[in-house]
């Protein structure tokens, strides 16, 4: 008995996702230094705020999809579900002249319903997440085009709506400190998402499903119900992202959105969320989202053509996933 070895919980920190999170953060710092040295236009207040705003939409999407990835699932539909949500907000506010808050609610609810549909397809109908959400990607994309009549929906009648993203609550309190609301929403949601992941039953089962679904089932966890809830939550985040996006552009653009899902998944993976499930943090995901938007922004400032920015992002994603595989092989 005396020889019983006690393993400290801290022992695992450096061999787990924390390592990748630290790497991602270090990478972010390096990116900032490199771009600052390369261009005087990079480290300016307006450009940094630009990066923050650019991160808002992708970051919120990434927060949602982080839950799904931790369960060892995937959601490819978040990009176009975001678009559909934005269009529904436009329908409520511009087409039907309803109050802004109702439009926002409609957008978020649309996202949640799409997520619910994903969850039912995956947990009840037993479709593989890849296929189910690929189907939803196209359904949402098509619906967005049909409902909008292929044209952008503008919010010109309701100037309040634009303030949701581009106004600054902080700026009103502390003059000169004009951080746009979209950024505040991102950070607020990140804290909320982290609390849900770490302090609630839903979060616990998110990890449990990704770690060993069968063990969770045998322990009496209602796997189907919780999985549905997790996809619904992911959809709701996509809905929120849709509202932020629409408010920022002051319009719902029905043809925008596809491809955003990959940036969001990339953000989660760069931040240490494992595609094989069971591991991940919201802090990591936010760092990952900043890595991507900083990279895109910096390359644009250096006048690297758009096509090459895409190539670079692709390479980063491949490297991040490869790092995850190496890490897994070692343990």
Partner 1 sequence: MAEPIIVMEGIEKSFPGVHALSQARFDLYPGEVHALVGENGAGKSTLMKVLTGIYPKDAGRILYKGVEVNIPNPRAAQLLGISIIHQELNLMPHLTVAQNIFIGREARAGLPFLLDEDRINEQAAELFRSMHLKLDPRTRVNDLTVARQQMVEIAKALSYNAEVLIMDEPTAALTDTEIDELFRIIRDLRDQGVGVVHISHRLEELKKISDRVTVMRDGRYVNTVPTAETSIDQIIQMMVGRTIYESSPELPEQANPEVVLEVRNLRRGNVIKDVSFQLRRGEILGFAGLVGAGRTEVARAIFGADPIDGGEIWVRGRPVRIRSPQDAVRLGIGYLSEDRKRYGLTLGMDVESNVVLAAFNRFLGPLGWVQSDRTAACTQEMVRALAIKTPSIQQRVKNLSGGNQQKVIIGKWLTADTDILIFDEPTRGIDVGAKSEIYHLLNSLAQQGKAIIMISSELPEILRMSHRVVVMCEGRITGELSAAEATQESIMRYATMRGEILRQNSG
Minimum separation from the CB atom of position 15 to partner 1 (A): 9
- CB of residue 282 to partner 1, shortest distance in Å: 16
Under rule CB under 8 A, which residues in 171-210 are in contact with partner 1?
Answer: 199-204, 207-208, 210
Q: Which stretch binds partner 1 (CB under 8 A): 4-12, 129-137, 168-176, 178-186?
A: 4-12
Q: Which of 252, 82, 245, 240 is nearest to 156 (CA)?
A: 252
CB atoms within 10 A of CB 48: 15
Continuous H helices in 219-305: 223-249, 260-270, 282-301
Determine whether 291 is exposed, middle or buried from the number of CB atoms within 10 Å of its CB (0-12, 13-18, 19+). buried
Residue with smaller CB distance to partner 1, 215 or 318: 215
Alpha-carbon gap, residue 151 to 229, rounded angstroms: 33
In angstroms, what is the minimal distance from the CB of 229 to partner 1?
10
Which of 139, 323 has the CB closer to partner 1?
Answer: 323
* Binding track over 9-38 against partner 1, x by CB under 8 A: x-xx---x----------------------
* Least Cβ distance, residue 222 to partner 1 (angstroms): 9
Q: Shortest Cβ distance from residue 218 to partner 1 (Å)?
A: 6
User: If you search the block for the tokens 């939803």, which residue do you land on?
Assistant: 136
The reply on whether position 225 binds partner 1 by CB under 8 A is: no
Closest approach of Cβ 214 to partner 1, in Å? 7
Is 4 a binder of partner 1 (CB under 8 A)? yes
How many CA atoms, within 13 angstroms, populate the side-chain half-sphere of residue 225? 6
Cα gap 301→309, rounded to integer Å:
11
Whole-angstrom distance, CA of residue 232 vs CA of residue 67: 10
Contacts to partner 1 from residues 268-327, by CB under 8 A: 278-279
The residues with which 154 forms a beta bridge, in sequence order, are: 251
Q: Is 151 in the site for partner 1 (CB under 8 A)?
A: no
Question: What is the C-alpha separation between 85 and 213, in angstroms, rounded?
Answer: 31
CB of 198 to partner 1, least distance (A): 8
Residue (151 or 328) nearer to partner 1, CB? 328
Of 5-13, 89-97, 251-259, 263-271, the window that binds partner 1 (rule: CB under 8 A) is 5-13
* Strand, coil or helix: 15: helix
For 292-325, give the secondary structure using H, E and C.
HHHHHHHHHHCCCCHHHHHHHHHHHHHHHHHHHH
**Residues near partner 1 (CB under 8 A):** 1, 3-4, 6-9, 11-12, 16, 199-204, 207-208, 210-212, 214-216, 218-221, 278-279, 331
């Amino acid at each position: 008995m005396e020889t019983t070895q006690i393993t400290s919980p801290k022992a695992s920190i450096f061999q787990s996702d924390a390592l990748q999170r630290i790497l991602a953060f270090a990478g972010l710092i390096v990116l900032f230094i490199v771009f600052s040295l390369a261009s005087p236009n990079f480290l300016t207040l307006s450009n940094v705020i630009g990066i923050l705003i650019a991160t808002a939409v992708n970051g919120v999407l990434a927060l949602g999809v982080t839950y799904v990835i931790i369960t060892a699932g995937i959601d490819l539909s978040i990009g176009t579900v975001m678009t559909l949500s934005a269009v529904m907000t436009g329908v409520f506010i511009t087409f039907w002249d309803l109050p802004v808050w109702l439009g926002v609610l409609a957008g978020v609810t649309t996202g949640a319903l799409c997520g619910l549909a994903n969850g039912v397809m995956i947990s009840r109908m037993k479709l593989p997440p890849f296929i189910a959400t690929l189907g939803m990607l196209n359904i949402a994309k098509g619906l967005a085009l049909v409902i909008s009549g292929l044209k952008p929906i503008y919010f010109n009648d309701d100037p309040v709506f634009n303030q949701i993203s581009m106004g600054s609550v902080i700026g009103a309190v502390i003059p000169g400190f004009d951080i746009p609301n979209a950024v505040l929403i991102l950070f607020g949601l990140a804290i909320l998402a982290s609390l849900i992941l770490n302090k609630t039953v839903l979060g616990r089962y998110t990890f449990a499903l990704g770690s060993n679904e069968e063990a969770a089932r045998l322990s009496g966890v209602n796997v189907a119900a919780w999985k549905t809830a997790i996809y619904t939550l992911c959809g709701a985040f996509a809905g929120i992202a849709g509202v932020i996006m629409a408010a920022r552009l002051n319009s719902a653009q029905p043809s925008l959105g596809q491809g955003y899902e990959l940036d969001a998944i990339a953000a989660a993976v760069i931040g240490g969320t494992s595609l094989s499930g069971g591991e991940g943090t919201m802090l990591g995901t936010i760092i990952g989202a900043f890595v991507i938007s900083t990279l895109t922004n910096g390359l644009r400032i250096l006048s690297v053509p758009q096509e090459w920015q895409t190539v670079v992002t692709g390479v980063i994603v491949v490297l991040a996933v490869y790092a995850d595989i190496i890490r897994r092989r070692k343990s």
